[in-house]
Structure 1
């Protein structure tokens, strides 16, 4: 599986010494000697018991390649509440999720009146500058079509349970610019990005979908995937459309504070062409592999906790040689911790590819020994009506 360009696999049963090479400036806001109980994203808003009155503050809390989502807020922000769980793909009614996400052509912050289960009849195409905020409410999108972010920018998806998504035939649907368009067949992903940018997917619970849970495809870039719980799935996360779509060379994705497992098989993530910074995630086993890909992608795996399955494959990584690109791979492990015999085949020699975050993207990666605490609240949060989440 590995070529001459890679070291032999290093497997070990004890904790690796966590080596923090980042030079990132912002502090996590907690003394590392006393332990970390909340990650930097959550600390930004969850400490405020009045967060319901200041929901758009969330836009200032993102880190990684999505950057701060402050373009999603401003004086012209439309506050829209979903009151009706029904769906009409072509003529959505006011009060429905599709009306707020596809019809309103402005900055829009979408919340929900009550707990609800939404069964979408066709994929929901989300317009630019839209935040879907499910905090404090138990919202399920499931058992049919799910979400597509198509040629849109500045999108926040937060606090939604998305599961049992099914493949859909081609058909007409209200598009992200408020116009009915033809959408081709979809495979049954929970969330699919197509030519999208500046997307933040945070604190969602995704599982049991017909194809995958999250795809970042066709030139999509500047994406942060954080605090999500991915479970009970064969193919979890795909970064890069296919081996022939070289526009994905510009793809940049941050995967941070997520919980993978139990019962995940592969693609956490699978990367083509582009660059992924995968940091402070908890991997609760795998079957085929945890992180893999093709077409010479670049990966910095930093301060993650990899817990190998009790039996079967202990190797974290997988590589597919494509058109002679094996030698161009950059898979590096920095400060990761490996339990239960987990091991990581890293690229031999060379400089570890760095994220080169700007001031709106930068964050400090915590020591891997804190990963269990930092991912304890992954997934859609259960928030009481009177206190913090």
Structure 2
């Protein structure tokens, strides 16, 4: 009887130890995963990065966007075409199957593009991306580099995620495959990393853009419902242009969300520069500037909300720049709500008036974090370093 009790006691001690070890092993594993993912993660990343099997469920990403692009539900569904880039070469007129241009321009319909391996892609001509296309670079290291770069021309419902675009160069006029798969003439291109022309419902996320001849990102000629999130903009004079030119009044309808991005080092101006339209610039980190961080002309509206502006050690401390319109004085509307300023940074607001709200619908809306969280929320900006086994 005593012996039975001893055996029984040892058995339950063993079970207790197994449970204890399992509990702490799980806690350590979870703790390590949280450390890698970041304890404080923005709402876009929370949506998919905690899933260790994200590779099996890549399309979950389409439900994670916020801001004016809304949820990218038109990029997924039963009729989705899965396309893998296996060839880094480029033919702008007759692209081969396996190349990026074949998947992004030739194939029509809902296309989800991934990459077989790390690659540098030197585009011969600008890549015109078709509607309902997702370019998903997660898990590999993909560079669009050293010549022509990306253009979204009269297209809609496009996701660009996890791509490095840099050292883009101007292009002379010439022929190229258009976003409808047909050959078309294309005029002079200035050398932007990504240029939007008459585009709508576009989401650019977790990409790294730098060192281009002209700018890094242009939203022009009536483009609207754009979300620019989690990107790293660096080493650039003119960073981001919202609005084509002073005379293009159709850009009054432009609506852009700029959220969770990291600007710097060595970004000089246009983060962004706005003409005519409206921008909600929220929870971004600005690591200095040379001329200004945010500028505008032609009656633009801006709500700068809970950003962190760190002024350069030497030079201009003022965040904003404003160009007078038609010599009648400043008619811009710039408002700062909950922004944080370091190293002497300052923000010249519009006097009087009322802060223009973004007026998001339920699928666009998101909770704005306090500016003190911006460092944490943007520390994973740019292309993510994804492990080969699980988390990203």
TM-score by length of 1: 0.90
Aligned match for 1:329, one of 332, 335, 343:
332
Q: 1:325 to 1:147 in 2, by over 3 A?
A: farther
Q: Which runs of 5+ in 2 are unaligned?
A: 1-37
| Cα distance between partner residues in 2 of 1:327 and 1:381 | 41
Matches within 5 A, 1:184-199: 184-199=187-202
Q: Deviations over 1:311-333 (max 9, x none)?
A: 10000000011214644311000
Matched residue SS, 1:181: strand
Matched residue SS, 1:135: coil
Aligned match for 2:51, one of 42, 48, 51:
48
Corresponding position: 1:386 with 2:392:
no
Do 1:119 and 1:145's aligned partners in 2 also have CA atoms closer than 8 Å? yes
Corresponding position: 1:81 with 2:84:
yes
Point out 4+ residue stretches in structure 1 off by more than 2 angstroms: 324-328
| Cα distance between partner residues in 1 of 2:328 and 2:93 | 44
Corresponding position: 1:362 with 2:373:
no
More helix by share: 2
Match for residue 215 of structure 1? 218
What is the RMSD computed on CA atoms of the aligned residues? Answer: 0.9
Q: Deviations over 1:85-139 (max 9, x none)?
A: 0000000000000000001111000000000000000000000000000000000
Match for residue 110 of structure 1? 113
Do 2:296 and 2:332's aligned partners in 1 also have CA atoms closer than 8 Å? no
Matched residue SS, 2:57: helix
Q: Deviations over 1:217-258 (max 9, x none)?
A: 000000000000000000000000000000000000000000
Do 2:325 and 2:331's aligned partners in 1 also have CA atoms closer than 8 Å? no
| Cα distance between partner residues in 2 of 1:36 and 1:50 | 19
| Cα distance between partner residues in 2 of 1:261 and 1:185 | 29
Q: Deviations over 1:52-76 (max 9, x none)?
A: 0000110000000000000110000
Match for residue 19 of structure 1? none
| Cα distance between partner residues in 2 of 1:327 and 1:133 | 42
Match for residue 139 of structure 1? 142
Matches within 5 A, 1:172-251: 172-251=175-254
Aligned match for 1:157, one of 160, 169, 174:
160
Match for residue 100 of structure 2? 97
Report which structure shows greater RCO (CA 8 Å, sep ≥6). 1
Match for residue 6 of structure 2? none
Q: 1:170 to 1:332 in 2, by over 3 A?
A: same
How many residues align? The count is: 355
